[in-house]
Structure formats: C-alpha cells, structure tokens
Amino acid sequence: SQTIHQWPATLVQPVGSPLSLECTVEGTSNPNLYWYRQAAGRGLQLLFYSVGIGQISSEVPQNLSASRPQDRQFILSSKKLLLSDSGFYLCAWSVQGFSNQPQHFGDGTRLSIL
Amino acid sequence: GQQVMQIPQYQHVQEGEDFTTYCNSSTTLSNIQWYKQRPGGHPVFLIQLVKSGEVKKQKRLTFQFGEAKKNSSLHITATQTTDVGTYFCAGGGLYNFNKFYFGSGTKLNVKP
C-alpha cells in the first residue's frame, strides 16, 4: 500500500533562517506531488505541484521554492523565512491519470516563525 | 482565475440535527472531491463525483454534483459528535488534470 511521510511534524524557526521540509511517498511510481499551506482556521492554498522529476509548477509568488530531485521526493525550501511563512504545510500525492485523482495527504508540518 | 467558494464558513449544530455545506465554482469542473479534516489532523479523502447530476451516499452523508458541474453539496443527516471537523470541497480543472481548486472549508461543530 502507498504511504506518505512528511517531516518534521513541528518546527520553530527564527525570521531570516533557511527552511527545508521533506516529503516522500512509498508504494507508487510517478505520482503527482503537491505542497499546500493552511493558515490557522483557514483553507488550503496550493503552493507548488509537480508531475515529474525536476518539473515544478508554482501557483503563487512567494518566498518559497520546491524541488523534486527523485520520483517520490518533494522538498519545500526557503533561503530566508518571513513571519508570514508561518502555517501548517501539507504534502500530498495523487495518481497521474487522464482525470483528477484523489489526493492523499501527509500528516503535515506546523511551522512557527519567531 | 478559477475559484471555488464554499459556504457556510462555520456551522454549529446540536447532535441529531442535519448539516449541509455548499460549493460553487466560477467555471465548469471536471469533477469534485470532498475531504474531511479532523481538528489537528490532515485532510482525508471522502468521495469523488464525476458525472453531471451525480448523487452518492456514504451512510449518513449524501454528496451531490450539480447538473452544470459548477456546484456541489454535502449533506449529513442526524449529525454525531464524530462528524466534527472541517469539510473541504476540491474542484478538478477541466484542462489541467493535475490541479485542484479547494474551497475554503466549512467547520462543523456538533454539541452533544
């Protein structure tokens, strides 16, 4: 069966520090991968999605970047964190296909910027 | 750009009462998906609707997809405390099968 791992679960970082969040998927090949951010009590904002190694689509201009160095690995990064980067970051995967497929989310990372 | 609006933002009900959340898209969708996020958790996929006018049921939950494939609803009959959480709809793009447009969610609180 497929599983998605996301770490760390919580993170407290000072303003101006770098960030690296990692997400890996097991049990499937060539998945679509997604990064979302959820502000407290709010909806899901799509940040990036990827349909293959090295292929990244950015949805909103921001202080973050994403990379997909391997088929089942998706990394969210920042060189210098801002206060506004605080939130709940969720990674998700879905099967690639000819129609939208259900997304399966990781447990998320709660990021607090001080 | 494409948007999916969801109402209400919050709903407080007494256990046993019914609950409905609605999603509306500015454009036609290829399909609609529904997710539930428990407090402190991550969204979990509930169901997907693809056909115009489709209705699906999961026990006390009834999901509908509009005839024009631009709106959807989730209805829960006789809510229970286990229904507490935030319910999200996510619309699939007509021309980009890799992208989803999430509604802002409806937070349901059920009083015992």
Q: CB pairs below 8 Å between A and B: how many? A: 61
Radius of gyration of chain A (CA): 13
Structure tokens at B25: 């898209």
Domain that holds residue B86: 4-111
Instruction: Give me chain B's average pLDDT, please.
Output: 94
How close A39 comes to chain B (CA, Å)? Answer: 11
How high is the pLDDT of residue A98?
A: 64
Domain count, chain B: 1
Mean pLDDT, residues A31-53: 90
Interface list for chain A against chain B, based on CB atoms closer than 8 Å: 32, 36, 41-44, 46, 49, 51, 57, 90, 94, 96-108
Q: By C-alpha distance, which of B51, B41, B56 is closest to B86?
A: B41
Distance CA B32, CA B2 (A): 14
How high is the pLDDT of residue A97?
A: 74
Distance CA A81, CA A9 (A): 18
CATH number (domain holding residue B41)? 2.60.40.10
What does CATH list as the number for A3-113?
2.60.40.10
How high is the pLDDT of residue A37?
A: 94
Kindly write down the DSSP assignment for every residue of A32-55, as one continuous string: EEEEEEE-TT--EEEEEEEEETTE
Cross-chain CB nearest to B45 (options A43, A96, A104): A104
Distance CA A20, CA A107 (A): 16
Residue B27 has pLDDT above 70, yes or no: yes
Q: By C-alpha distance, which of A52, A15, A36 is closest to B37?
A: A36
pLDDT in tens, A53-98: 999 998 877 789 999 999 999 999 999 999 999 999 999 999 987 6
The DSSP element (H or E) to which B37 belongs, if any, is: strand B31-37
- Tell me how crowded residue A36 is: count the other CB atoms within 10 A of its CB: 25
